[in-house]
Amino acid sequence: MFTNSKVPQLILISGIICVVIFTLWQYMFNIYEVSFKVSDVVLFADNKSTSIIEVIPLNSFGNRVPFRKSPAEFQIVEGVDLVEIIQNDIDNGILTLKAKDMPGKITVRIKSEYSLMPSLIEISIQPNAA
């Protein structure tokens, strides 16, 4: 039926390539959970201190998923009057806060598209000491 003996080899190689691509997608590029990276958890009441909260998508190996982003919604639950929101990038999952001139505690609720439950992040604003 097959006059060319290379056709079965081509089918075998195509099958192997499909399995490799599927495996890479499932283990390397699929988002299994998210992690949160906070640049500074302690700020100072000096109108200059900033903190960046970033949502990091993780693959099955626990590494950052390449070429993917994790959209997230941020809500300041406590201490909304203590900070100024510099950047609220919902699509990339990044929130940048700048401390005002009052000490206190800030609680941020983060709900990511890839997390089951919302997470809470606490940031402390310390008074300036002379």
Architecture of domain 31-126: Sandwich (2.60)
At 98 the pLDDT is 94
Q: Is pLDDT at 72 greater than 60 in this prediction? A: yes
Q: How many CB atoms lie within 10 A of CB 1?
A: 3
Q: How many CB atoms lie within 10 A of CB 47?
A: 11
Nearest to 77 by CA among 119, 125, 44, 113: 119
- Average pLDDT over every residue of 76-103: 93
CA distance 66 to 20: 17
At 123 the pLDDT is 94
Query: Distance from first CA to last CA of the chain, Å, rounded?
Result: 90
Question: pLDDT tens digit string along 34-61?
Answer: 999 999 899 998 888 999 999 999 999 9
Q: Please give the structure tokens belonging to residue 43.
A: 């700020």
Where are the chain's structural domains?
31-126
Question: pLDDT tens digit string along 18-32?
Answer: 999 999 888 899 999
CA distance 4 to 70: 48
The CA dihedral of 88, 61, 63, 28, to the nearest 10 degrees, is -80
Strand blocks (E) in the chain: 33-38, 42-44, 50-58, 72-78, 83-89, 94-99, 104-112, 119-126
Confidence of residue 4 (pLDDT cuts 50, 70, 90): low
